[in-house]
Chain A
Amino acid sequence: MKQVGDRKVWSVAEVTGAIARRFEDVPPLWIEGEIQDLRRRAGQVYFALADQHRIAASMNAIVFERLAPRPGDGERVHVYGRPQFWPLRGEFSVRVEIIQRMGEGALRAEIARLRERLAAEGLLDAERKHPLPRLPAAIGLVTSAAGAAREDFLRNVWQRFPRARIVAVDVPVQGDSAPPAIVAAIERLARTDVEVVVVTRGGGSLEDLMAFNSEPVARAIAASAVPVVAAVGHERDTTIADLVADVRVSTPTAAATAVVPDERQLTEHLARADRVLHESLSRKGTEHRAKLERLAATARRALIHLAARGAERRDGHVARLYGALRRASAAASTRAESRGERLDTGVRRARERGGARLERSAAMLGALSPVATVARGYAIVRDHAGAVIVSADAARTGDALRIQLRDGELPVTVREP
């Protein structure tokens, strides 16, 4: 250090030396990062360890070469080493002693073990899955407020069902703080009136999605009394969260479709139901009115028919009676006529023979024909044996007699004169 006017000036070596001294006390530690720009030079391997930031690292090439398999660019690793400052070039780097692959293979193995364990407990069983309500009173949303997943979900939910109510919890969706935050959010939402919970985040590397492959998150989803829809990552990413969720969809947009009905469709469905109810009832009414009318008409006809038949029957009896009487009297007169004719013929013959006495007798016979006589209003009285009574002396008081009239007989009893 030297004084130049009113200013203190340090040499580069003084600065780098001071910084180097500061780093002397930094202990070795584990660092997680992705390997980039791996290269070998002069017995060393050099690379960068990166997440959002980057630090240089170096390692003894012989130690590195012994790793099987050796990690390469793009691979996520845990390194154990000491941060150092190299004063000659003014550079900072980590001197790596141990390097462990944290790559997808290890993660996948870890996921597979967890999956197996949960499956053995039955947490992945289809019977455990709850159906989603068709119209949830409210929808819980567990995702990062900064993520595109949230916007995708909200836009699509409201497009399908403009009145949907959302209760959102902002959580980190990657990193160590994500699992406990997601667990807490699911538990919090279960105590509200939400009827379905959506847990979502966009796509990312397997490491990015690891919160959704963590055991606490898986158990919180499985234990949730409220059905959970998981939409984590892209189509090809299946996390444990997806497997234990009641419904698994591949994108936030699909999650929106899963949790709310299409309002237009639902409204149409209800309108149709209303229409069917009214039309069916009114058709039923018409049908029954028609049926009633048919029945009434049938009944009317039946009654008229019955009445008619009653009348007919009555009339029939009368007619039959008349007919019988007519026939009887006709037969009687026919008989009488035929006899009369025969008599007439006889009379004619007699006349032809010119017998006046015979002619008179014939007239007498005609007058005496009982049928003709009765038909004229005379009666024939018979006793109980049918013998004709011609004298009052032949009957005594109390005798039962029959009087034959034109159309029948009258039973009579002889009274005291």
Chain B
Amino acid sequence: MTDKDDDLTFDAALERLDAVVARMESGDVGLEEAVELFERGQRYLDYCLKRLQQVERRIEELAGADPPTENGENPF
């Protein structure tokens, strides 16, 4: 399987990484495939680690929409 790695989400990268790892662990791979799997796995791994580092702790306050106007007249 050849994957388009552009625009990969973290989830997709992690999923593919796990699939590659599972395939590698199965032991049922030739040398050539193992090398290819290794390279692909490293690519996904790098991507995941990069994404992990990218996120930065902070909180932004977003003003909501305009507060809803009070319905109804002043009772008095």
Contact = CB atoms under 8 A, between A and B. Distances in A.
Contacts of B41: 273, 277
Top 3 nearest A-B pairs by Cβ distance? A184-B65, A280-B24, A284-B34
A273 B64 contact: no
A107 interface: no
Given A164-B57, A266-B52, A133 B64 contact: no
Nearest to A145: B61
B11 A134 contact: yes
Contact of A135 (B52, B58, B60): B52
Interface of B: 9-11, 14, 17-18, 20-21, 24-25, 27, 29, 31, 34-35, 37-38, 41-42, 45, 48-49, 51-52, 54-65, 67-68, 71, 75-76
Contact of A277 (B20, B27, B49, B71): B20
B45 A274 contact: yes
Nearest to A170: B64
Interface stretch (A96-104, A173-181, A349-357): A173-181
Nearest to A289: B31
Interface of A: 26, 29, 133-135, 137, 145, 154, 158, 161-171, 176-177, 180-181, 184-185, 187-189, 192, 263, 266-267, 269-270, 272-274, 276-278, 280-281, 284-285, 287-288
Given A135-B10, A181-B68, A281 B56 contact: no
A133 B10 CA distance: 8
Given A133-B9, A133-B10, A184-B65, 15 more contacts: A134-B10, A145-B61, A165-B57, A168-B62, A169-B63, A177-B67, A185-B62, A185-B64, A188-B64, A188-B65, A273-B41, A277-B42, A281-B38, A284-B31, A287-B31
Contacts of A188: 62, 64-65
B68 A180 contact: yes
Contacts of B17: 270, 273
A173 to B, nearest CB: 12
B55 A273 contact: no
Among A145, A163, A188, A189: residue with most chain B CB under 10 A: A163
A276 B57 contact: no
Nearest to B61: A168
B75 A29 contact: yes
30 contacts: A26-B76, A133-B10, A133-B11, A137-B54, A162-B57, A163-B52, A165-B55, A165-B58, A165-B60, A181-B68, A184-B64, A185-B62, A185-B65, A188-B62, A269-B14, A270-B17, A273-B17, A273-B18, A273-B21, A273-B45, A274-B45, A276-B21, A276-B24, A276-B25, A277-B20, A280-B24, A281-B34, A281-B37, A284-B34, A288-B31
Contact of A280 (B38, B49, B67, B76): B38
Contacts of A177: 67-68
Given A133-B9, A181-B65, A185-B64, A270 B59 contact: no
A202 to B, nearest CB: 19
Contacts of B10: 133-135
B62 A280 contact: no
Contacts of A185: 62, 64-65
A169 B59 CA distance: 10
Contacts of B62: 167-169, 185, 188-189, 192
Given A165-B58, A280-B24, A280-B25, A180 B65 contact: yes
Contacts of A181: 64-65, 67-68
Contacts of B25: 276, 280
Contacts of A278: 38
Contacts of B37: 277, 280-281
A137 B60 contact: no
